[in-house]
Structure 1
């Protein structure tokens, strides 16, 4: 195994500066444990699961490895204390159509226990993380000062996901330990600024380690952001296509078959901007974007059909969050092998660049 290390590794007590993203519906105990065991930082996605489910996932990781683990919790400033349900008659036409299509396949669409990232829910999950001594908390969609202070109270480090330089400044002011700058190329919740530009902007003023995210699926890409000044890489979509990720084979095959321009970024997933693969789930909204409800109503309204389609691993009606790097992914491997390959590719790319680029002072 190649040697690849930055100061971030010492800060987080990991071997390699590769962090697996906390992807909703994808990254649970098995994936997080596999990545951490292999020397990276595995992350449990904790936005949608109930606190009870989160506790079970943490227990699983602790039963498999003693390596550090991260838990990704959502803290959007607009999160309601208790999301109001949306009546069926008030659903937008695209959601009604998707529901009818899913039910026509014999799949029950039922209410789901999704908290829409409510603050009370986030606080309960923080308490669980404290109980089990979780080493790292990733703050998605906002970094409130109270969350940073709570994590620091038991010795945990905090990672802040940001899509703008102003967000990074706010997170640093609130005491975060690490900033992950996510370019618009990334899958899931993402901003509209490209990674190369965003990384340069944040590196100008950051007083904490900066990690790059957004469309990174190969070692050559990781080498590029490391030479730009990042101390690590936050990898999402590449880890969807692993044996330990929690999505079904149709989801993974959709990524294998994806072209280089297959993704779109829109509000239809939950009312916040999300990048995902195009399929029936996205096409049903074309020309009817005016019916979008906005966050959090959109998340609450579409939740039952979204979760039902995901559980059944439907190829067409399932939401498929994924980054622009999908077109570079052509296989499904164990997560440990993916990490090893990324480390090897990164080291090879760094070595190759030193011999390929000539300069003088």
Structure 2
């Protein structure tokens, strides 16, 4: 039985969800099964589209719609060559939320909003939050350095208040959240909800292979490492023998595998060399990546796929937040969200006792 709404925030009102909990758009992990399970449990599930072809994305959207009548979102690469076409796909199928890893152009935000789609870019600095807010973004998501995947060095406890002070739109906090105490703390800061990645990856509804989930659960608080050896950008992932080997290897030794994985990515994505070049040009323009970093960027999807889809930890990497060190179970999305919001409500009630009458 679904947990009734216990908390009302700007996020729940903006999107029409019961609980202020977001399952983030993790590549190879946030597929239709996990997204729909999150939506049916009352949270906001976000479909990861960066690792999908255009056709695969449309099929995934239709599958989610077949599994749930609740609102859900799609995470998009704002710098992708076909970003506008993918946004048109969201409009066509009535997707409620468009989230972005990088700031989408003002014209794209305006087009999405004209069709009633809620736009939520991810930001890493207060100035970025102010920029997208001025362009019309409905909300922003921040991720502190504790989070998995591409991450910065500023912890959530400092990044969150600085962004909250910078904008008047709802702010979703991610990076280090896994339970109701975290949700209560984020709401106390002034956030409208929390985003969780690793915690949702480690659920019964996640399609990640069971053996890989058990490997995650075996790690402690020192079980992650931030490295730029995978794609040239700081990337928090599970500390495995393969990752430690990458950390210690020379650039020359990594060259042949890099070329091979780039060719695999080109084949999997159906992109032409011209498409790859255009994407690389956008990365350089929007992210300031060097040529070496752009060359490495095509590695990331294939290395994540090897670990998260194929379960080959000897050839793949596993993105992970630091919270992996405190997790020890694999609940369903329904069980997870229920206990998170129930615990958060109890925490907030309990803290009322600290107020002097």
Q: Which residue of 2 aligns with 1:177?
A: 138
Kept in 1, the 8 Å contact 2:177–2:183? The answer is yes
Gaps of 5+ in 2: 255-290
Kept in 1, the 8 Å contact 2:11–2:192? The answer is yes
Q: Which residue of 1 aligns with 2:349?
A: 351
Residue 82 of structure 2 aligns to a residue whose secondary structure is helix
- 1:261 CA drift (Å): 1.6
Structure 1 CA distance, aligned partners of 2:175 and 2:303?
27
Distance of aligned partners of 1:359 and 1:185 in 2 relative to their CA distance in 1, 3 Å threshold: farther
Q: Which residue of 1 aligns with 2:329?
A: 331
Structure 2 CA distance, aligned partners of 1:301 and 1:320?
13
Distance of aligned partners of 1:358 and 1:306 in 2 relative to their CA distance in 1, 3 Å threshold: closer
Quick one: which of 107, 119, 123 aligns to 1:146? Answer: 107
Q: Which residue of 1 aligns with 2:36?
A: 33
Q: Which residue of 2 aligns with 1:241?
A: 202
Distance of aligned partners of 1:136 and 1:272 in 2 relative to their CA distance in 1, 3 Å threshold: same
Distance of aligned partners of 1:211 and 1:283 in 2 relative to their CA distance in 1, 3 Å threshold: same
Residue 293 of structure 2 aligns to a residue whose secondary structure is coil
Kept in 1, the 8 Å contact 2:25–2:47? The answer is yes
Matched, 1:162 2:123: yes
Structure 2 CA distance, aligned partners of 1:283 and 1:359?
53
Gaps of 5+ in 1: 77-118
Q: Which residue of 2 aligns with 1:299?
A: 297
- 1:276 CA drift (Å): 0.8
Distance of aligned partners of 1:211 and 1:260 in 2 relative to their CA distance in 1, 3 Å threshold: same
Structure 2 CA distance, aligned partners of 1:39 and 1:21?
14
After superposition, the CA RMSD in angstroms is: 2.0
TM-score by length of 1: 0.82
Structure 1 CA distance, aligned partners of 2:164 and 2:304?
37
Quick one: which of 80, 88, 92 aligns to 1:127? Answer: 88
Kept in 1, the 8 Å contact 2:304–2:316? The answer is yes
Structure 1 CA distance, aligned partners of 2:183 and 2:23?
13
Deviation by residue 1:234-270 (Cα, 9 ceiling, x = unmatched): 1111100112222111221122112012111222333
Structure 2 CA distance, aligned partners of 1:330 and 1:171?
37
Matched, 1:286 2:281: no
Deviation by residue 1:300-354 (Cα, 9 ceiling, x = unmatched): 2455455344432023432111111111111112111111111112112222222
Quick one: which of 213, 220, 233 aligns to 2:181? Answer: 220
Structure 2 CA distance, aligned partners of 1:126 and 1:289?
40
Q: Which residue of 2 aligns with 1:136?
A: 97
> Relative to structure 2, which stretch is displaced further, 272-281 or 15-24?
272-281
Residue 340 of structure 1 aligns to a residue whose secondary structure is helix
Kept in 2, the 8 Å contact 1:136–1:157? The answer is yes
Deviation by residue 1:279-320 (Cα, 9 ceiling, x = unmatched): 133112223465687432112245545534443202343211
